[in-house]
């Protein structure tokens, strides 16, 4: 048996998903950064390692407001596995782009590992992306956007 109940771990994960969804709409990422402990570590394979809640926020806020990240409108979790003993979540998360006007869904996934720390907070996140999934998707999204703009 782990340190936390399955119910607490599930509630923390559900809140993580909800807060990320709200931040994607508001474009304000402070509430998401507040889901981490003050001494959290965030390893982002494309951008590096960040230490502490404030450093995580200082990285994510401008990044998510720059193209192409600014086109991401939601981050649904396709699947997650919970290691109850450790309090770790391993998830496949879609990085979904806004509809360019053709009604199609444009997204590419990353794998995320989250370490729960108690009190609804996480102490660690690691994101791993496959660029060979993102580049063709963004290229297709750009073509669809350009085609739709030509129809106006």
Q: How far apart are CA 16 and CA 138, in angstroms?
A: 25
Q: How far apart are CA 110 and CA 4, in angstroms?
A: 26
pTM confidence score: 0.92
Q: How far apart are CA 98 and CA 12, in angstroms?
A: 27
CATH number for the domain including 17?
Answer: 3.10.450.50
Residue 101 lies inside a defined structural domain of this protein: yes
* Predicted confidence (pLDDT) at residue 24 exceeds the cutoff of 70: yes
Residue 1 lies inside a defined structural domain of this protein: no
SS3 84: coil
Number of domains the chain is built from: 1
Q: What pLDDT is recorded for position 46?
A: 86
What are 58-109's pLDDT values in tens digits? 999 999 999 999 999 999 999 999 999 999 999 999 999 999 999 999 999 9
CB distance 6 to 12 below 8 Å: no
Residue 138 lies inside a defined structural domain of this protein: yes
CB distance 15 to 27 below 8 Å: no
What are 100-134's pLDDT values in tens digits? 999 999 999 999 999 999 999 999 999 999 888 88
């Amino acid at each position: 048996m782990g340190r936390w109940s399955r119910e607490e771990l599930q509630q923390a994960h559900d809140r993580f998903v909800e807060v990320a969804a709200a931040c994607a709409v508001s474009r304000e990422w402070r509430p998401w950064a507040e889901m981490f402990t003050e001494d959290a570590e965030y390893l982002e394979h494309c951008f590096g390692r960040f230490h502490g809640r404030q450093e995580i926020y200082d990285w994510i806020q401008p990044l998510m407001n720059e193209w192409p990240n600014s086109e991401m409108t939601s981050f649904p979790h396709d699947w997650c596995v919970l290691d109850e003993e450790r309090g770790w979540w391993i998830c496949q998360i879609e990085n979904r782009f806004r509809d360019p006007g053709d009604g199609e869904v444009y997204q590419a996934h990353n794998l995320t590992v989250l370490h729960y720390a108690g009190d609804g907070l996480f102490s660690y996140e690691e994101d791993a992306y496959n660029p060979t999934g993102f580049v063709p998707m963004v290229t297709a999204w750009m073509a669809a956007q350009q085609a739709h703009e030509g129809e106006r």
